[in-house]
Structure 1
Amino acid sequence: MPTNQKIKIKNYSARIPQWKKIDKEIQQLTQLYNQIDPGSIQTFNDFPLSQKTLDGLAKSGFTNPTDIQREAIGVALQGHDILGAAMTGSGKTLAFLIPVLECLYRARWTINDGLGILIISPTRELAY
């Protein structure tokens, strides 16, 4: 080994494990759920959502919630049931799915855990 070559040594002991970061994020988000005020929500970033969900929304082009999303997401994150009615294309599906994804994130659900969500929705023909 040449004497003029420097050896790089990395110290990993100061790094916080990823699972500890996720646990801390989940704890912080959960504490904010009861403080959600739909009237003050202007963007999805105003909701206490995981960074993964916020990144996915931004990547998909979603920045501002619709009225049904603004009203429903906070209620669902608090663990309450939702019965919402809104026009086609108003964002009802996303208003339902965001809290479901957040629930799976808080539960640290992985593909190894099996089925995490089963959504059964009647078609328009069955609604009459």
Structure 2
Amino acid sequence: MATGALLKPDVWAEATENPIPFVFAGNYNGPGNWRYGLGFVESGGFIGGEGSFAGYESTTMYSPTRRTAIEVVSTKNPNAITPPPMFQALAMAVHGTDIGFGITPEQALAPAFTGAAGQPDTQPKE
């Protein structure tokens, strides 16, 4: 999908035309640069998507120029490192920090997601 090979050229051109900057709700994606196209997200030349179902979440991204795919799957936890910034941290570990994510590895690895209510989890950890 990230190369456009599965789509007709005019459909891929429309899908990738003018992706817009955006931020996931609750700071889910952390402080990095993200853009949304027609049916995909993009960051630092990686194209893919994110999704979730009861108890789990994931981010799958592919860079055609780097010929690298990275997938992160985790359980849902407030105040955690979520899959989008974890993907960015992994990509920077493999390809260096000058990818264009707009963050450092330390920023990517800092817990940022505040949970569904938008408030940090204040329950004691066992």
TM-score in terms of structure 1 length: 0.24
Higher helix fraction: Structure 1 or Structure 2?
1
Higher relative contact order (CA 8 A, sep 6+): 2
Q: Between Structure 1 and Structure 2, whose CA radius of gyration is higher?
A: 1
